[in-house]
Amino acid sequence: MTAWLATLLVPGAWWFVGRRLAVQRQGVPSLAVHGILGFLGPAGLMCWRGRPFAEQLVAWAVGVIAWAGIFVIRDPRVFVAFGLVGATWGTALGLKTLKAIVPTVGPPASPAPRDAPADEHKSGSAGGTGFALELRCPTCGAALAVPVYHRMARCDFCASEHVVIGRTDILTVVIPDVIPNVGVLTQAVVRHLRDRRYLELYDTRVRPLTADSPFARDAEQGELPRLIATRPSPLVEAVEAEVGRAADEWAARIAPRVRVRAWHRFLSPYWHRLGTLYQAAFGRDRDGAKRIEFAVTTIEGSVSATAFPLPEMGKLSYLKALRPFLGAPEAACPALAADVGPEEIDRKVQQLSRRSSELTITPIAMHSTLVPEVVALVYRPWHVAVVDLDGDELAMLLDGGSARVEGQAPTQQLPTTAAEASGGEAPALAPSRCPDCGADLPFGPDSVAFLCRSCFHLVELRGTRWTSVPYLREEPAAGHRQVPFWRFPLRLRTASGTLITDIPHLTDGIDGAFDQIGDRPQTAQSFFVPAFRTRVSKAGVQLYRRLWPAVQGWPRELSPERFGPANPPERTVEVTLSATEARVFARVYLALSFTQRDLARAEVKGVRERFLSAELEGDAELVYLSLPEELLGPLDGLFGRARIMALANLEG
């Protein structure tokens, strides 16, 4: 009777232990624990892992039979046989779990700071398109992450909308420092040491197992990634998980022994540039036919503003919500002098502008113009720490923006004086009110001009002052959308000084002969340039191409009177392209006027002189044209700001 009681109680005791571990949320056991518990008490393992009750009951039955081999049958072979059944079951469960937790075989990137101080509430969206500026909502005081190219922001905390005022030519900003005290600094160092330990263990335990899986070796024993990805084996995944746990345990043991002996904080300046690149190129397509194409690409980049040897800024997604330098707590830190001027970022961007990745032809000759939109002097916080671990001193350089160790501390003299901000007051937010009637302006974060829905004035912000912008418009029609265009007179001054005033003389004469229009004299023409940006460069060009024949050369009745409440427009497109930038766009937009017939005999010299090197004269006026929804509807999602191409850092 005692033997049978022990046979039932031992598996039941393991079941109870598993339930207690599950209640205490002890986490996921290691692969070895899966096997051991599966052998001794499979019901406890199943209960710990939260398996269904029926599965736990079957595991309990397996445990009863196994322990009966010890207490009742007294045959160790029965105990071992059914114990191995439970161990196999537990190991399979462990492999399945670890496979779900660890999906890759390569060493993971260093984790984000887990113990960094929590950021205060930030409303608004930076949109994932480059860096944003942290501004305070004037209504509720919440911190808003406003992309630097946005002219309006919405506070998700209090639902208020505001316009950005006080923008200067050069923004002076600072990356928020997430290492405020020695405790956070120590945690960052321990994370770095843990990552180093992980890589050491990975190279000795995991790398040999992956030699024939994700990598192939050449004759010189170098690693060459295979073109066809292979899924890692469960064994590799399990060993990698064990390596991660071993690194975590090692870091927990050394953390109390890490001592910061010296700590110095300073700022380093970087130049940052954001702008739009307009390109027109003459070349050949895949079939060898001559064509003139254009591209519109938003680019940004950064370079160091000091000769002091420090890491590069890195990819621009690093720049999250930056603070205006004036009034920021980081402004009191010592800073390196900005001894490299903004011309360095200009030179780098000009080198970048020679690229033609957005063009659909192989260019022979090209015209490129970069319209700068944001120039910022970004101060990046750095920390130099001398750390003692069991008598060994380590001098480390930490990035204050990410709380990551970036390498060894520099040996040069560090700054001792604080930086002085220049460029006037920082941008701020103001309520979005029409200056004429006081009504709320429609929300348009990328807009350069706002059409009031109450009085139908078109207003723009110049510095801190509102200015009314005159416009022409067509009569609104049902099922139509009012789309803004800049109307330019066609006054194209060629490199030789010739003035071209109509499209036939431009296109037919590009090959040096007027064989289509003969000796017909020029007439004064105008052409319409879209006054809005598009979200994606190549698809945006397709939208512009679609609009060209729909608006050019058609007689239109335009009224100088603004829209009225009697017949308001159903839908309008925001004005997101200023007249100054539209002039640059107009130069490349004229590329759509050329046909293959025009270019069949064209030579590079003539194209350069009459188009690529020509200048556009005359002033533009804003016009709202009424276009049908069936023309715009299929491409409706393209209206808005172009996706920023964060082309890494320009130093690399």
User: Longest C-alpha distance within the chain, in Å?
Assistant: 120
- The phi-psi region of residue 128 (left if phi > 0; otherwise alpha if psi is between -120 and 50; otherwise beta) is left
Mean pLDDT of 102-113: 38
Q: Which of 181, 197, 189 is nearest to 250 (CA)?
A: 197
The model's pLDDT over 275-319, given as tens digits with 9 standing for 90+, comes to 888 889 999 988 889 999 998 887 777 888 888 888 887 655 556
Q: Which of 166, 132, 13 is nearest to 445 (CA)?
A: 132
The lowest-confidence range among 113-127, 199-213, 394-408, 542-556 is: 113-127
Exposure b/e, 458-481, CB count within 10 A at least 16 = b = bbbbeeeebeebebbbbebeeebb
Neighbours of 440 (CB within 10 A): 14
Distance CA 337, CA 335 (A): 6
Exposure b/e, 355-384, CB count within 10 A at least 16 = b = ebebbebebebbbbbbbeebbbbbbbbbbb
CA 556-562-563 angle, to 5 degrees, is 90
Q: Does 377 or 274 have the greater pLDDT score? A: 377
- pLDDT at position 498: 92
Is residue 175 within 8 Å of residue 381, measured between CB atoms?
A: yes
DSSP β-bridge partners for residue 462: 465
Distance CA 514, CA 603 (A): 15
Q: Which of 250, 215, 255 is nearest to 232 (CA)?
A: 215
What is the SS3 string spanning 39-64?
HHCHHHHHHHCCCCHHHHHHHHHHHH
- The answer on pLDDT for 589 being more than 90 is yes
- At 454 the three-state DSSP class reads coil
Q: Which of 317, 293, 313 is nearest to 593 (CA)?
A: 293
Residue type, 316: L
DSSP β-bridge partners for residue 439: none
- pLDDT at position 317: 52
Q: Does 422 or 31 have the greater pLDDT score? A: 31
- pLDDT at position 19: 75
pLDDT bin (cut points 50, 70, 90) of residue 28 is: low
- pLDDT at position 95: 72
Distance CA 385, CA 265 (A): 9
The model's pLDDT over 115-161, given as tens digits with 9 standing for 90+, comes to 333 333 333 333 444 578 888 888 888 888 888 888 899 888 888 88
pTM of the shown model: 0.70
The model's pLDDT over 417-463, given as tens digits with 9 standing for 90+, comes to 777 766 556 788 888 889 988 899 998 888 999 999 999 999 998 87
Instruction: Name the phi and psi angles at 583, rounded to 5.
Output: -65, -40
Mean pLDDT of 593-603: 90
In Å, what is the CA distance from 272 to each residue of 1, 349, 468? 83, 10, 32
Distance CA 582, CA 296 (A): 12
The model's pLDDT over 331-355, given as tens digits with 9 standing for 90+, comes to 889 999 888 887 777 777 666 656 5
- The answer on pLDDT for 213 being more than 70 is no
The model's pLDDT over 44-80, given as tens digits with 9 standing for 90+, comes to 888 877 777 778 888 888 888 888 888 888 888 888 8
Mean pLDDT of 167-196: 90
Instruction: Name the phi and psi angles at 473, rounded to 5.
Output: -155, 150
Is residue 349 within 8 Å of residue 275, measured between CB atoms?
A: yes
The model's pLDDT over 606-626, given as tens digits with 9 standing for 90+, comes to 999 999 999 999 999 999 999
